[in-house]
């Protein structure tokens, strides 16, 4: 087994360094084990050992009628991945959390992605939903989609996305900015390339074109920038994707069969910062690991929810989604 992996692991590492791993970052335990290509026994032990450390979110899903589940389509699985901007100075996600994940009005979702793993685990589709998307929020009229988490936590966030897409969310995972910063600091730093000069008036921060080595606080400033970017929230999504690709590359550089202590430290950092719904069992994580082992970057497809235009509503700058195209596109993904 070791000889086989030695022969083609370098090529595997180069091919899978891209967006597939970025999209699955918040499912960090499964991702890291998958890219390591661990043997079946190690994966079985690892998902149980580290899976037990992953914080579970009780009652994450909405009650009442919901769209049909994955088995109604290709047997795949849909994840909703969220990064939340919490006002708490203490961690709210992961096993290291010392504050509540959700308190009314105290947190808003900041990064939102739908991830669909096909039933045969041969393809993954990712759709980013901009935080400024103006959508119906059940029981609250219409507002920016990030308000759903603020008003109702994970259940309302999931219900809002399900109503928007007409599709069922099978699992939910979340990380807050404290966790994001801690994960960045755990790898030391992340290198990004800034393509053009800009000024973030909200943070009074100049960004110059060129290569930047970002630590925790700088990383937050970079992925959180909205002001001074030509396309606002859409450019911000690109910043986040770019940074997370670099972050996962750093994680991959610090884990391996030849460095068990480094691997353990990174897995500990991930489990300290990520929370998942309590319906995601260790067995689900294990199935995910084995399924992901055969995926390559060529099997990953990425998009942003289609935007019809922008508008100022109640003094807020909002993005208007093309809901018909969004549903058609996501239903096509579900149909395989």
Q: What is the DSSP string of 37-78?
A: T--HHHHHHHHHHHHTTSEEETT-SPPS-----GGGTTS-EE
Q: What is the pLDDT of residues 112-142, one digit of tens each?
A: 889 888 887 778 788 889 989 999 999 999 9
Does residue 161 contact residue 66 with C-beta atoms inside 8 Å?
Answer: no
Q: What is the pLDDT of residues 4-63, one digit of tens each?
A: 444 545 555 545 554 444 444 444 544 444 444 444 455 555 667 777 888 899 999 999
Quote the CA–CA distance of 194 and 212 in Å, as a whole number: 7
Q: What's this model's pTM, rounded to 2 decimal places?
A: 0.75
Does residue 276 contact residue 57 with C-beta atoms inside 8 Å?
Answer: yes
Does residue 237 contact residue 304 with C-beta atoms inside 8 Å?
Answer: yes
Q: What is the pLDDT of residues 179-230, one digit of tens each?
A: 888 888 877 888 888 888 898 888 888 899 999 998 888 888 888 787 888 7
In terms of Cβ atoms closer than 10 Å to its own Cβ (0-12, 13-18, 19+), residue 7 is exposed
* Average pLDDT of the residues of the chain: 78
Give Cα 240 to chain centroid, integer Å.
Answer: 10
Give me 16's structure tokens.
């899978």
Count CA within 13 A, CB hemisphere, residue 224. 22
Higher model confidence: residue 263 or residue 237? 237
- The partner residues of 194 in beta bridges, in order of sequence, read 210
Does residue 26 contact residue 175 with C-beta atoms inside 8 Å?
Answer: yes
């Amino acid at each position: 087994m070791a000889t086989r992996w030695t022969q083609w692991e370098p090529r595997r590492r180069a091919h899978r360094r891209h967006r597939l791993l970025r999209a699955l970052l918040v499912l960090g335990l499964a991702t890291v084990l998958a890219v390591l290509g661990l043997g079946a026994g190690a994966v079985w032990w690892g998902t149980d050992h580290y899976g037990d450390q992953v914080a579970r979110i009780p009652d994450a899903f909405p009650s009442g009628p919901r769209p049909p589940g994955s088995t109604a389509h290709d047997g795949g699985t849909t994840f909703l991945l969220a990064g939340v901007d919490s006002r708490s100075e203490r961690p709210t996600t992961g096993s290291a959390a010392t504050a509540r994940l959700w308190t009314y009005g105290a947190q808003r979702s900041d990064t939102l992605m739908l991830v669909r793993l096909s039933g045969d685990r041969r393809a993954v589709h990712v759709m980013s939903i901009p935080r400024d998307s103006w959508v119906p929020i059940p029981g609250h009229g219409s507002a920016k989609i990030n308000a759903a988490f603020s008003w109702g936590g994970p259940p309302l966030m999931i219900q809002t996305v399900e109503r928007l897409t007409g599709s069922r969310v099978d699992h939910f995972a979340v990380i807050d900015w404290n966790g994001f910063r801690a994960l960045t600091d755990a790898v030391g730093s992340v290198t990004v390339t800034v393509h053009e000069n800009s000024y973030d008036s909200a943070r009074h921060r100049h960004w110059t074109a060129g290569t930047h080595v970002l630590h925790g606080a700088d990383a937050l400033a970079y992925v959180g920038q909205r002001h001074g970017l030509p396309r606002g929230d859409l450019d911000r999504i690109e910043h986040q994707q770019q940074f997370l690709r670099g972050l996962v590359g750093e994680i991959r550089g610090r884990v391996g069969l030849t460095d068990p202590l480094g691997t353990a430290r990174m897995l500990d950092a991930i489990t300290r910062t990520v929370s998942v719904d309590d319906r995601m069992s260790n067995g689900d994580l294990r199935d995910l690991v084995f399924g992901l082992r055969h995926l390559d970057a060529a099997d990953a497809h990425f998009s942003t929810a289609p935007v019809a235009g922008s508008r100022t509503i109640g003094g807020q700058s909002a993005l208007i989604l093309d809901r018909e195209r969004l549903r058609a596109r996501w239903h096509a993904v579900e149909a395989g």
